[in-house]
Structure 1
Amino acid sequence: MSASRSLDGQTALITGSTSGIGLQFAKGLAESGANIVLNGLGDEAEIEKTRAELASECGVEVRYHPANMLEPDEIAYMVAFAKSEFGRLDILVCNAGIQHVEKIEDFPKEKWDAIIAINLSSAFHAIKHAMPVMKAQGRGRIVNLASVHGLISSPFKSAYVAAKHGMVGLTKTVAQEGGEFGVTCNAICPGYVKTPLVEAQIPDQAKSRGISEEEVVEKVFLADTFTKKFTDYDQLVGLLRYLVSDAGASTTGVAIPVDGGWLTH
């Protein structure tokens, strides 16, 4: 994907960016010239390889911070690290997320607690510490990955749906508080994207619903879309670039579906 260097000199921190959508967000912003702070889980050597390749290919500075999204203090240190490394923090993308699929009466308590902590509370902690930096700069862009499940529900995903609905509410409040300081906050709400997280759901959904894995894709994931296709990474990156640009300065407090028409049903 080609991109102008419209973000030269800016700094972007993306949580959960060592794989999946988060890594594609990091690549898209790096291609536009932003220096990047990666965060996420994975093999240490693989993460370093990803960091070095991204820096070399895009001609930007790339750092990595291993903050655990279950630990508020580590999240605070990560935001401070981004500011100390580059002297500013222009873009925060709260992308980290996990999933568990199970009917509510069998939903493990520890899974509920972890999903709420990682998918929702981690965004609060990151924004809490990023907001003063952005207010002082007079400009900032916060983008939350909220999922189409921030706007509707699906069975067997009680914790995920609750967290993503919370993310949409958090987005609106942060937009209100940041508006007069030049800080925007928006939520991107993808439909199904073929990420490792989604791939892992297919057998779980098949088990919960008593259907085949092929039927999960056809009758559950894509049934209500007009396109009958998974959402592509490039489509999400294109929207992210708009939201963090000067053109996106008046777009704030909204949750934008990228879902192939799913929500029109």
Structure 2
Amino acid sequence: MMQKLTTHVVIVPASFAPPSLYSTLVQSLVECGFSTTVIDLPSVGFRDPLPAASMEEDAAHIRSTTTKLADNGHEIVLLMHSYGGICGTESTVGVSRIERQVAGKPGGVVHLVYISSPVPEIGGSVQTMMGNNMPHFMKLEGDYLISEPKGCASVNFSDLSKSEALTTLAGKTVIVTGGANGIGAETVRLFNSHGANTIIADLERTRAEGEAVIRSLQHPTSALFITVNILIWDQIKALFSQCIQHFGKIDIVVANAGIMESQSLFDIENVDEQGELRESTEGFRVIDVNLKGTINTLRLALHHMRHNKPVSPGSLRGSVILVTSTSGYFGTTGVGAYITSKHGLTGLLRASQQGARDLGIGVNAVAPFFTPTPTFKELAEKWKNSGLKSNTPGDVAQAIALASTQKETGKCYMVVGRKSVEVENSRNALLEQWLGRETTGLLQSASKLFEANGYPLPKT
């Protein structure tokens, strides 16, 4: 007589997860008519003597359970959570319905369901999946993959709320270029309110405004105004030296200083007495400040931060935030020099990543959409009357501060209509869709070649 097959759900827990964690899920499955078993993994819970049970022991235990169920005529859905996907995959050898049918046996595993889980090949593990990309806090010791707790926590448990993330700024030392006005001043206020030492780095003509900002701070004695022109190398070198002398080290640099032209780069009617087109000196000034000045700031930040000691294994030595603009991605306005310079900052963000990672320093960017400040008073009024959404300086300051707390690098947070969205991840993920697999593969291979061997330039 042929045995009637029934579906049975077997839940394989995550590491450190007891069966009781899945009680609500079990109840829901039972209410839907599914008989259910939750595996009690040998590696979970107290083990004396050590070492703890291995992944192979977990897989063998799962295989034993599913084999008994299959022998009783059950078709098995193996539902695997996190780590459970690794030992669960391994456990299927010899227990799939097809293998059991060939052997003349009933039942077997018919479906594999992975919940937030790696999916290795049979015989594989997290280590074989990662290859040479093993995180610094993990190491292989015999048959065990050992994780250093603090480093592991910094990656796996970094889902802090915004308010919790900002508490990590206490005691940090932050330089904000262009910090006397607008977004820069609001950024100084936010960092200082969370206990950071803050340095307003700006032109001498902004001293009165900068000192007024300091008087408005919650912790004015933890703030300095230092005169600097970011285009003058000796001045910006002195800025970093003074900060280190005063506060001991520099943890965060916000490269915020920037300007915009008042005359179009493409005004070809701007001629001299002889009718010759004038050079766009204002346009080149914009490119100098926004691009060259930011490069100066970034290079010195990397130079000094490389000496910082990470707070914990896996943490960064420092953080640099490049303040760019949505104009660094979209070029739809008439300020050609500004748009060109901000596109240059997007390129600088990408170009800096290899060096930044090698040094253990985060370089990220914040790209604000239109943000009304006193500089744009007339446009702000026009914008308000249009009904279009805009940011506040506080929105952008918060995006900058949060970006500085991240343990990742190479991100750009676009702040549009008071919302912050990371854009570099999406851009990277879509490259193959835009360009095709072959072209994308060639470009990526070329990038690796350049990064590995450098790009020697011809002698001139």
Q: TM-score, normalised by structure 2?
A: 0.48
Secondary structure of the equivalent of 1:188?
Answer: strand
Structure 1 portions without partners, runs of 5+: 204-212, 223-227
1:174 and 2:335 are equivalent in the alignment: no
CA distance in 2, matches of 1:120, 1:218: 33
Residue number in structure 1 paired with 2:39? none
Residue number in structure 2 paired with 1:24? 186
Residue number in structure 2 paired with 1:52? 215
1:192 and 2:370 are equivalent in the alignment: yes
**Alpha-carbon displacement from aligned partner over 1:30-55 (angstroms, at most 9, x marks no partner):** 1111101102244544432322332x
* Structure 1 residue 11, shift from structure 2 partner: 0.5
1:243 and 2:406 are equivalent in the alignment: no
Aligned pairs (5 A) from 1:123-134: 123-134=294-305
Aligned pairs (5 A) from 1:190-229: 190-199=368-377, 202=379, 214=382, 228-229=388-389
Contact 1:34 1:60 in 2 (8 A): no
Aligned residue among 36, 49, 60 for 2:198: 36
Residue number in structure 2 paired with 1:162? 340
CA distance in 2, matches of 1:48, 1:103: 34
Aligned residue among 191, 207, 225 for 1:64: 225
Secondary structure of the equivalent of 2:168?
Answer: coil
Q: How many residues align?
A: 241
- Larger Rg over CA atoms: 2
CA distance in 2, matches of 1:199, 1:176: 40
The residue identity in structure 2 corresponding to 1:195 is T
1:93 and 2:254 are equivalent in the alignment: yes
CA distance in 1, matches of 2:334, 2:384: 16
Aligned pair in 2 of structure 1 residues 60, 175: CA closer, same or farther (>3 Å)? farther
The residue identity in structure 1 corresponding to 2:197 is N
Secondary structure of the equivalent of 1:121?
Answer: helix
Aligned pair in 2 of structure 1 residues 178, 60: CA closer, same or farther (>3 Å)? farther
Residue number in structure 1 paired with 2:290? 119
* Structure 1 residue 7, shift from structure 2 partner: 1.6
The residue identity in structure 1 corresponding to 2:214 is R
Does 39-48 or 4-13 show the bigger shift?
A: 39-48
The residue identity in structure 2 corresponding to 1:244 is S
Aligned pair in 2 of structure 1 residues 237, 94: CA closer, same or farther (>3 Å)? same
Contact 2:185 2:213 in 1 (8 A): no
**Alpha-carbon displacement from aligned partner over 1:106-164 (angstroms, at most 9, x marks no partner):** 27621112101111111111111111221111411000110100111023211000100
1:10 and 2:172 are equivalent in the alignment: yes
* Structure 1 residue 77, shift from structure 2 partner: 1.4
Percent identical among aligned pairs is 25
Structure 2 portions without partners, runs of 5+: 1-162, 269-278, 311-316, 424-460
Does 79-88 or 42-51 show the bigger shift?
A: 42-51
CA distance in 1, matches of 2:238, 2:228: 8
* Structure 1 residue 218, shift from structure 2 partner: 6.1
Contact 2:187 2:394 in 1 (8 A): no
Contact 1:13 1:92 in 2 (8 A): yes
CA distance in 1, matches of 2:259, 2:192: 25
Contact 2:187 2:398 in 1 (8 A): no
CA RMSD in angstroms, aligned pairs only: 2.8
CA distance in 2, matches of 1:253, 1:232: 24
Task: Report 1 or 2 for greater relative contact order, CA contacts < 8 Å, sequence distance ≥ 6.
Answer: 1
Does 166-175 or 27-36 show the bigger shift?
A: 166-175
The residue identity in structure 2 corresponding to 1:235 is D
CA distance in 2, matches of 1:74, 1:43: 16
Aligned pair in 2 of structure 1 residues 43, 132: CA closer, same or farther (>3 Å)? closer
Aligned residue among 251, 255, 261 for 2:412: 255
**Alpha-carbon displacement from aligned partner over 1:194-242 (angstroms, at most 9, x marks no partner):** 0133336x39xxxxxxxxx73x6666xx7xxxxx211122222222222
